[in-house]
Structure 1
C-alpha cells in the first residue's frame, strides 16, 4: 500500500524520535557510573568531572563540523553513521582500564553523538512546514528526556547486578539495530517519495567550499543567532551540571545509588512532560523567547532552593529536579526552533550545529569547574553558581523578539 504524505510525516516523526531516544541510552548512561569510576580509579571531583567534559567537548567539535555535513550530505547517512560509531565508542568505554582511556572513549562518543540531533532537525525542516515544526520537535524532546529518565535507573539496576562496565554494553544494543533500520527505511525529503511540497528547499548548487563558507558566515554573523548561542551555552552548563553532579551529590549524602538515580531521573521526567506542552505552546503563540526566559528563570530559582536544602527529603529534591527539567530540558524545543526560523533552508542544520557546539563548549567547563568548586567550597556553592548562570541565560535571550 502506498503511503500518503500525512502517513510519511508520522513515520518520519516516530522513527526519527525513537532512533534518537536510543541515542540517549548511549550518552546519558555515564552519569550513574561516575561514583564507581571515582572509587575504582581514586579520582578527585575535579578530575572526575573531566570525563563529562570529554563528552561535551567531543560533542561541541562534532556539532560544529557535522551540522554542515548534514546540510551537505543529508540526515539519513549522517544519523546512521553516528549511531553505529557511538555504539562502538560505548563498548570501548566499557573495557577502559585507565582514566585516559575513559576520556578518549567518551570524547569520541561525544563527537559521534553530534551526528544525531542536527539530523533530526533537518528531517523536520524537510518534512514539515514552518508553522508545524514545534510539535514534532517537542515530541522528539519528550522522548529524549524520557530516555534520560529511563537510562539512569536502568543503569543503576545493571550496576547492582553486573557492575558498572555493562552500562556501556547492554543499553547500547538497540542503537545498533535502529541504525540499520533507519538507513533502510528513512528518506531525506518528501520529493524522494514523489511528494512535492511548498516548503521544499532547492538543491544546493554551490561547490562544497562555497556552500560551507556561506553557511558558516550566516550562522556566525547574525546577531540573533549569537545571542541564542550565548543563552543556550548557559542552559547547557546547567543541564550537564545536573546530569553529572546530582547523582554524585545524592550518593555522597546517602550512599544509595538507586536514590541518586531517581532524583536525577526526575530532572529528565520534568523535561519530558514539559517538552510536549512547550512544543504545542510555541506553535500556538509563534514565539520562542518568552518560553525560554520563563524556563531558565524557573530553573535558576529551583537550583537556589535545591542548594539551600541539602537535608530535605528525597521527594522534595526530586520535585525540584522535575521543575528544573521543565525549565531547562523542555525549553530546548524553543532554542532549536530559533535557527530553523532564522536561517535559510540549506543552512539550518549548520545553525543547529553551531548552537550545539557553543552550548556544549560552555557545558565542557562545568565538569572541571563544578568539581573544583566542590573540592574547594562544597556542593551548595557549586549549585548556586549554576543558578546564577541560568539567570543570566534567561535575560540574554530577551532581545530576540522575532
Structure 2
C-alpha cells in the first residue's frame, strides 16, 4: 500500500508539473507578439489598426478552437490534442520570424491562435482526471500560476531577445519568435512523451475510486448548456478576458504611446502585471477552498469589486510617477488574475465534473475569447479617438458587471458541501 501511495504521489506530481509547463510554454509563443509590436510597426510600417487585425484574427481562431478542442479533449484525451496544438504554435512562430507582410502575419497569427486554443481546455481536462474536487481550489490555484508565470517570464524573455544583441544579432526581430519556439519545442516533447490522459494503473485503488466518483454520470453538451452557473461563469469570463487581454497585448504599447516610456522600460514594467497576478491566483484558490469551502463564485465577485476600485484610481496613480504606475499595474493584475484563474479552472471543473471538464472549460474560455476577440478593435478605436485613459473607464464598467454576475451565484456549490459534510459525519459514526 505504501508503494502504491508513493507511486500515486509521483504520478500526480508528474502530471501537475508537465501540464503546468505545457501552458507556461504556450505563453512564451503568445506574449512575444505584444513585446515586438512597437518594433514591428517601426520596421514594417504597421500601425495600431494592423496590429489589431493580427490580434483579432488570433483571437477569432483561439475562440473557435476552444469549442473544438474542448470536445476533442473529452473524446480522445488531451495528450494528442494539446501536443498537436503545441506543434502548430511552434510552426507559426518559426514562420513569424521570417515573414514581413501583413497578410502572411495575419494568417500566421490565426494558426498560432488555433494551436494555442488546445491548451487550456485540454490541460484542465488532464488535471481533472488526477485531482479530486475538495482539493481543486488549492491545487488549481497553484497550477493556474502557469499562465501568470508564463506571461511574466514570457514578457521578460521576449524583451531580452528584442533588446539584447549578444546572441544572433543579425537575426534582429526573428529572435523574438524563434527563441520562444525553441522553449515550447522542448516542453512539447516532454509533455507528449511523459504524460497520460487518465490515472489507470498509475494510482492506488483508493485514489482511483475517489477520482471516479462521477464516472457514471454522462455530461452532455445539452446538460452543460442547461446549467445556469455555466452561463454566469462564461458571461463573466467574456468581460474579464476583454480586460486581461487588453493588458496582455496592449500594455507595452500603452506605456510607450500613452506614458512615453522607452520600449525596454515598457517591456519590463508591463511584466509587473503578471508578477503580482501570481499572488492573486494563489489568494483566490486558498480563499475559495479554506474560507468559502469550495465555493468559487463569492471569491471571484469580491475580487472583481476590488478591481473596479483600483481601475478608478489607476489614472491618478499613473500621473504620480513610475513607482505608483507599477503599483497600479500590480494591483490590477492581482484583482484580475484571481477570478480569471478560479472561474476558468476550478469552477469549470466543478461545473463540468470529470467527464465534462474539458467541455465546460472550453465553453467558458470560448465565450471569454469573444471578449478577447473584440478587445483589440475596441482598444484601437478608443485609444485613437478618445485617448488611452478612456479605456480604464470602460474597464470599471465591465468589472462591476462581472462582480454582480458572480454574486448572483453566491451559494453555488453550497449544497454539495453540505452533502459531503453529512457523508463524512456518517462515516465517522460508522467508524465509532
Q: Please give the secondary structure, in 1, of the residue aligned with 2:365.
A: helix
Q: Which residue of 1 aligns with 2:314?
A: 306
- Residues 317/128 of structure 1: CA separation in 2 closer, same or farther (3 Å cut): same
Q: Which residue of 2 aligns with 1:136?
A: 139
Contact 1:134 1:333 in 2 (8 A): no
TM-superposition CA deviations, 1:243-286 (whole Å, max 9, x none): 22221111123241122112211110111122122222222122
Q: Which residue of 1 aligns with 2:114?
A: 111
1:375 aligns with 2:384: yes
1:244 aligns with 2:253: no
Of 184, 209, 218, the match for 1:198: 209
Aligned length: 396
Q: Which residue of 2 aligns with 1:293?
A: 301
Structure 1: tracts of 5 or more residues without a match: none
Contact 1:241 1:386 in 2 (8 A): no
Q: Please give the secondary structure, in 2, of the residue aligned with 1:159.
A: helix
Q: Which residue of 2 aligns with 1:63?
A: 66
Task: State the Cα distance separating 1:194 from its structure 2 match.
Answer: 5.6
1:121 aligns with 2:135: no
Contact 1:294 1:327 in 2 (8 A): no
1:319 aligns with 2:322: no
1:386 aligns with 2:395: yes
Q: Which residue of 1 aligns with 2:374?
A: 365
Aligned equivalents of 1:111 and 1:131: distance in 2?
33
- In our comparison, the structure showing a higher alpha carbon Rg is 2
Structure 2: tracts of 5 or more residues without a match: 413-432
TM-superposition CA deviations, 1:195-244 (whole Å, max 9, x none): 431234499999xxxx8xx6322233321111111101100000011122
Of 151, 173, 176, the match for 1:164: 173
Of 277, 283, 303, the match for 2:283: 277
Q: Which residue of 1 aligns with 2:428?
A: none
Task: State the Cα distance separating 1:312 from its structure 2 match.
Answer: 2.9
RMSD between aligned residues: 2.2
1:220 aligns with 2:229: no
Contact 2:69 2:122 in 1 (8 A): no
Q: Which residue of 2 aligns with 1:155?
A: 158
Aligned equivalents of 2:381 and 2:117: distance in 1?
27
1:188 aligns with 2:194: no
Task: State the Cα distance separating 1:398 from its structure 2 match.
Answer: 1.1
- Residues 203/287 of structure 1: CA separation in 2 closer, same or farther (3 Å cut): closer
1:36 aligns with 2:39: yes
TM-score by length of 1: 0.92
Contact 1:5 1:195 in 2 (8 A): yes
Q: Which residue of 2 aligns with 1:81?
A: 84
TM-score by length of 2: 0.86
Between stretches 25-34 and 343-352, larger displacement belongs to: 343-352
